[in-house]
């Protein structure tokens, strides 16, 4: 099948690739662009390890063709923070033991990021429901929920301080 | 899990998409959110040679509440349905249902048009649309036509939609009275073991003045329970009537034995979700 050239805007940078239309966004990010934050867990739209943000929506990138994301703004966990400057969510996952093996973590953090943008003051139930598309085999979720709630508190306090 | 090869098209208008589908014929499928189609393509249960993506047709993404009717564009996502203030007032049962579909990520992508056009008995919106007495608008090479949701579903994956038609809009009357969508599922992100959509109105005399019941994933199509709905009207929802209503619904469903349980269990689950839905709808009527 004919390949096609696409440009994806990932974490504020344009990336080009020559792809078959059937190539999934997760594979193009990982294999063509070397953006390996989003993971391949189930490849069947269940686990959320592949979660990225596409135009302000949390998307399972194993269930979108890369050609469908042409022209969209994509954010992966790499776009949120880096080892020198962690994102608040990353810091709080570290602080609260929100990860063990870490396989689900990029998807969890990317999803939690969008959740807090849409609902900056979530209850525990809101967090659990909001991350229900992300599976974790290790933590039992308790510490992930704590980390997200704690990140929300910190973000809200910072906003209050900056307004004061 | 690699889908078969296909050629990708992303037309910018509905007439262009209808034209393209007419030209490419049976070898082409439209793709909306892709969250039913891509999983099927990975399993090679669907192997279209052409995909016509509707994502650039932004005028299929709208919610309008006007003159007693809600009209929703086919490309409106489940996430949008949950967050639309006008729809929450006009037909709160839509958000209640959408919140029970799949998981957050899937709801950002999955569209109402894809959900009702798909024809999978597991989808939640077809039963809801039958309960709401919705009308689907289809656009094809021969023009536009409307089909009632209650006549749309023929068998699993077979609907009244011709292969060359695109579903453009869904319309239903603004809801009055009480409502409930009750779904039994094994876990979040699962299709229904049994689900029931109920709308009930209460007259000035305290009796039920209007009723509509539909059931999800309990046959190879959604089931609108006409007889059971009629039994409720004029009653006070007394125990005797409720028992008859449940029997009338169980009589018209045809669940099959599968990984969600044997037939007897599904009938039991159906009767429970139905009773819960009726209770909740009546408490809100
Ligand atoms: C893990 C998982 C769990 C899920 N759980 C649920 C659930 O609990 N309940 C539920 O209802 N759904 C569930 N879904 C399905 C989800 O809601 C889908 O998004 C929805 O069924 C289809 O919508 P779509 O926009 O993704 O359609 P697509 O996948 O793009 O299309 C589905 C079918 O409809 C056709 N089509 C799409 N749009 C149109 C149109 N406008 N005109 C004509 N034909 C069209 C396509 O050609 C295709 O055949 C789940 C999906 C996944 C992956
Ligand atoms: S890899 Fe995409 S949801 Fe599991
Ligand atoms: S930390 Fe191992 S899967 Fe979540």
Alpha carbon distance A2, A20 (integer Å): 7
Mean pLDDT on A147-157? 96
pLDDT above 80: residue A164:
no
Chain A residues near residue B45 by CB distance under 8 angstroms:
none
Angle at A106 between CA A101 and CA A112, to 5 degrees: 115
Confidence of residue A122 (pLDDT cuts 50, 70, 90): very high
* DSSP one-letter code for B111: B
Sign, CA torsion B142/B148/B150/B156:
positive
Confidence of residue A158 (pLDDT cuts 50, 70, 90): confident
Give residue A163's pLDDT: 75
Of A20-29, A39-48, A153-162, B258-267, the poorest mean pLDDT is in A153-162
- A128: alpha, beta or left? (left if phi > 0; alpha if psi -120 to 50): alpha
Query: Ligand 2, closest atom to CA A48?
Result: 3
Three-class SS state of B218? coil
Ligand nearest to the CA of A101: 3
Does any CB of chain A come closer than 8 Å to the CB of residue B38? yes
Is B109 in contact with A65 (Cβ distance < 8 A)?
Answer: no
Confidence of residue B218 (pLDDT cuts 50, 70, 90): very high
Three-class SS state of A28? helix
Q: What burial class does residue A159 get, using C-beta atoms within 10 Å of its C-beta: 0-12 exposed, 13-18 middle, 19+ buried?
A: exposed
Is A133 in contact with B102 (Cβ distance < 8 A)?
Answer: yes
DSSP B178-214: EEEEEEE-SSTTPPPSEEEEEEEEE-TTSSEEEEEEE
* B102 φ, ψ (degrees, to nearest 5): 50, -135
Mean pLDDT on B215-244? 98
Is B38 in contact with A63 (Cβ distance < 8 A)?
Answer: yes
Give residue B1's pLDDT: 79
Confidence of residue A160 (pLDDT cuts 50, 70, 90): confident
Q: What percent of chain A has pLDDT over 90?
A: 95
Sign, CA torsion A88/A92/A95/A100:
negative
Which residue of A65, A106, A116 is the best one to mutate when testing the B interface, meaning the one whose CB has the most B CBs within 10 A?
A65
Contact B106, B100 (CB under 8 A): no
Give residue A80's pLDDT: 97
Mean pLDDT on B100-126? 98
ipTM here: 0.96
Alpha carbon distance A62, A39 (integer Å): 9
Give residue B4's pLDDT: 96
Q: Distances in Å between the alpha carbon of A83 and those of A77, A79, B84, B201, B244? A: 12, 12, 39, 59, 65
Confidence of residue A162 (pLDDT cuts 50, 70, 90): confident
Alpha carbon distance B126, B176 (integer Å): 20
pLDDT above 80: residue B61:
yes
Chain B residues near residue A133 by CB distance under 8 angstroms:
102-106, 188-189
Alpha carbon distance A66, B136 (integer Å): 31
Q: How far is the CA of A102 from the centre of ligand 3 (A)?
A: 5
- B46: alpha, beta or left? (left if phi > 0; alpha if psi -120 to 50): beta
Alpha carbon distance A70, A66 (integer Å): 7
Alpha carbon distance B266, B256 (integer Å): 8
Sign, CA torsion A45/A51/A53/A54:
negative
Mean pLDDT on A71-100? 97
Give residue A141's pLDDT: 98
Three-class SS state of B234? coil
Give the tokens for residue B130: 């039958």
pLDDT above 90: residue B136:
yes
Alpha carbon distance B64, B91 (integer Å): 12
Beta bridge mates, B147: B136
Three-class SS state of B53? strand
The residue behind tokens 């063709």 is A65
Give the tokens for residue B242: 């409720």
Q: What percent of chain A has pLDDT over 70?
A: 99
pLDDT above 80: residue A88:
yes
Q: How many CA atoms lie within 13 A of B172 on its CB side?
A: 24
Is B42 in contact with A46 (Cβ distance < 8 A)?
Answer: no
Mean pLDDT on B102-126? 98
Q: How many CA atoms lie within 13 A of B162 on its CB side?
A: 16
Quote the distance between the C-alpha of residue B223 and its chain's center: 11
Contact B216, B206 (CB under 8 A): no
Alpha carbon distance A43, B173 (integer Å): 40
pLDDT above 90: residue A48:
yes
Identify which has the larger pLDDT, B61 or A162: B61
Residue-wise pLDDT tens digits, B254-279: 999 999 999 999 999 999 999 999 99
pLDDT above 80: residue B126:
yes
pLDDT above 80: residue B12:
yes
Quote the distance between the C-alpha of residue B166 and its chain's center: 16
């Amino acid at each position: 099948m004919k390949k096609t050239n696409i440009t994806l805007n990932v974490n504020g940078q344009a990336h080009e690739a020559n792809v078959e239309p059937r190539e999934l966004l997760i594979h193009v990010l990982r294999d063509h662009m070397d953006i390996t934050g989003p993971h391949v867990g189930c490849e069947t739209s269940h686990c959320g390890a592949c979660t990225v943000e596409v135009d302000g929506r949390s998307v399972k990138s194993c269930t979108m063709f890369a050609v469908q994301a042409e022209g969209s703004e994509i954010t992966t966990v790499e776009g949120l923070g880096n080892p020198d400057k962690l994102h608040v969510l990353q810091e709080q996952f570290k602080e609260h033991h929100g990860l063990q093996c870490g396989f689900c973590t990029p998807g969890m953090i990317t999803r939690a990021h969008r959740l807090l943008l849409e609902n900056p003051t979530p209850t525990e139930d809101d967090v659990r429901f909001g991350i229900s598309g992300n599976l974790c085999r290790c933590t039992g979720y308790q510490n992930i929920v704590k980390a997200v709630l704690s990140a929300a508190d910190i973000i809200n306090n910072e906003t209050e301080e900056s307004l004061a | 899990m690699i889908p078969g090869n296909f050629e990708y098209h992303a037309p910018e208008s509905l007439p262009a998409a209808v034209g393209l589908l007419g030209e490419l014929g049976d070898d082409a499928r439209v793709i909306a959110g892709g969250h039913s189609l891509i999983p099927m393509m990975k399993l090679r249960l669907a192997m279209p040679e052409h995909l016509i993506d509707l994502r650039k047709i932004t005028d299929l993404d709208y919610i309008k509440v006007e003159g007693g009717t809600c009209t929703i564009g086919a490309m409106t996502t489940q996430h949008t349905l949950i967050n639309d203030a006008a729809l929450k007032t006009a037909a709160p049962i839509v958000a209640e249902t959408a919140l029970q579909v799949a998981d957050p990520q899937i709801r950002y992508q999955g569209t109402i048009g894809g959900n009702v056009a798909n024809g999978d008995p597991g989808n939640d919106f077809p039963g809801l649309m039958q309960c709401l007495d919705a009308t689907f608008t289809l656009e094809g090479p021969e023009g536009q036509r409307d089909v009632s949701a209650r006549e749309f579903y023929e068998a699993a994956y077979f609907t009244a939609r011709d292969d060359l038609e695109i579903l453009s809009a869904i319309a239903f009357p603004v809801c009055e009275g009480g409502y409930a969508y009750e779904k039994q599922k094994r876990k979040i992100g699962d299709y229904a073991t049994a689900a029931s959509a109920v709308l009930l109105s209460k007259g000035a005399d305290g009796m039920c003045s209007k009723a509509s019941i539909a059931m999800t994933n309990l046959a190879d199509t959604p089931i609108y329970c006409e007889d059971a709905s009629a039994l409720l009207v004029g009653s006070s929802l007394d125990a005797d009537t409720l028992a008859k209503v449940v029997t009338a619904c169980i009589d018209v469903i045809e669940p099959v034995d599968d990984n969600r349980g044997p037939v007897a269990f599904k009938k039991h689950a159906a009767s429970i979700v139905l009773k819960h839905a009726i209770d909740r709808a009546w408490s809100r009527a």
